[in-house]
């Protein structure tokens, strides 16, 4: 069982310590351009037009049309919270995605998702949780920290919260409290002490989830209870997936204990990549047609079902 402990760090005044080009600058927010750490070249994907003239969803497993700039920094919340931000070059995003890693993990394990989502036009922030380790686990404080680090960026944009495992729980709690939250995506979310179940009933934003096969690492799919409690909640099982498939990239630290899904890793990764990208684009308003990936009767969703890759939770 996870330990519940409190780290008594004073929040103080929010500041961002931004590292760029080997120098460190302290600013009141993190919206300046600065010098990029990495810039990823885009691979363009195309979209068509259906007979009804409504746009067809793109193949979101492919890289989007924007190059991506990554920046790293630190914001004082209940601790010095390290983060990375991913910004599409030459595009003003309609929303900020706050994406969180799981217990005993770091922001490095979700940066693949973040970089890919940003290539489709979204700003993505990946903080390292302050209270998600064996000596200090406090999901409620993590939620407050996530809200605080998002506010420190002062973008004014609506926020889509997303997270893997315990990061799914922390961002779920944040989404239930942040007035800027417009949606939540759980990546094999794991609840603890029914915190998410308790927060689910009054949740007034779309809450969707992707889950793996049940095992000890996801508490035998206790996310099922969470989405059953959310009004209009939607849960999709990625067949044959394991808990580590919802990291990008994963490593031995997860696969040694939780990597026994047994499915084709490339197919599973592509399924999660397509559905997760579609969700954040749809909910942000960047690509309303991306809803088709989550809707029966449309090609991408139907192909995933017919191919034995997904089913309702």
Q: CB of 132 within 8 A of CB of 170?
A: yes
Contacts for 266 with CB less than 8 Å, ≥ 6 apart: none
pLDDT of residue 5 exceeding 80, the answer is no
In the three-class reduction of DSSP (H, G, I as helix; E, B as strand; rest coil), residue 274 is classed as helix
Contacts for 189 with CB less than 8 Å, ≥ 6 apart: 163, 164, 165, 168, 169, 172, 196, 209, 211, 223, 226
Name the DSSP letter for residue 41: P
Domain spans in the chain, listed from the N-terminal domain onward: 65-312
Selected from 3.40.50.300, 3.40.50.1820, 2.30.30.90, 3.10.20.600, the CATH number assigned to the domain covering 65-312 reads: 3.40.50.1820
User: How do residues 16-54 score in pLDDT, each as one tens digit?
Assistant: 333 333 322 323 333 333 333 344 444 333 333 344 456
User: How do residues 187-198 score in pLDDT, each as one tens digit?
Assistant: 999 999 999 999
Closest CA to 30 of 140, 126, 138: 126
Q: What's the pLDDT score for residue 270?
A: 97
pTM, two decimals, is: 0.82
Q: Sort residue 226 into left (φ over 0), alpha (ψ -120 to 50) or beta.
A: alpha
Tokens 């809707």: give the residue: 295
């Amino acid at each position: 069982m996870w330990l519940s402990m409190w780290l008594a760090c004073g929040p103080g005044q929010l500041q961002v310590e931004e590292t760029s080009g080997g120098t460190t600058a302290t600013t009141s927010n993190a919206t300046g351009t600065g010098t990029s750490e990495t810039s990823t070249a885009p691979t363009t994907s195309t979209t068509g037009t259906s007979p009804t003239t409504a746009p067809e969803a793109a193949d979101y497993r492919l890289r989007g049309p924007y190059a991506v700039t990554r920046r790293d920094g630190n914001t004082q919340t209940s601790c010095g919270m390290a983060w990375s931000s991913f910004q599409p070059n030459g595009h003003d995003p309609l929303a900020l995605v706050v994406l969180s890693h799981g217990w005993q993990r770091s922001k490095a394990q979700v940066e693949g998702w973040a970089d890919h989502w940003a290539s489709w036009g979204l700003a993505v922030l990946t903080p390292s949780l302050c209270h998600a380790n064996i000596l200090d686990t406090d999901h409620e404080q993590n939620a407050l920290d996530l809200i605080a680090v998002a506010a420190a960026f002062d973008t004014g944009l609506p926020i889509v919260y997303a997270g893997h495992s315990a990061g799914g729980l922390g961002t779920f709690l944040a989404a239930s409290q942040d007035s800027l939250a417009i949606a939540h995506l759980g990546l094999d979310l794991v609840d603890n002490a029914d915190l998410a179940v308790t927060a689910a009933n009054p949740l007034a934003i779309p809450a969707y989830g992707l889950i793996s096969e049940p095992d000890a690492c996801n508490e035998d799919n206790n996310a099922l209870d969470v989405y059953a409690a959310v009004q209009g909640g939607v849960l999709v099982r990625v067949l044959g997936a394991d808990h580590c498939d919802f990291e990008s990239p994963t490593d031995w630290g997860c696969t040694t204990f939780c990597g026994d899904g047994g499915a084709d890793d490339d197919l599973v990764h592509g399924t999660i990549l397509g559905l997760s990208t579609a969700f954040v684009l749809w909910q942000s308003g960047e690509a309303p047609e991306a809803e088709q990936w989550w809707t029966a009767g449309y090609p991408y969703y139907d192909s995933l079902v017919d191919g034995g890759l997904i089913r309702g939770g």
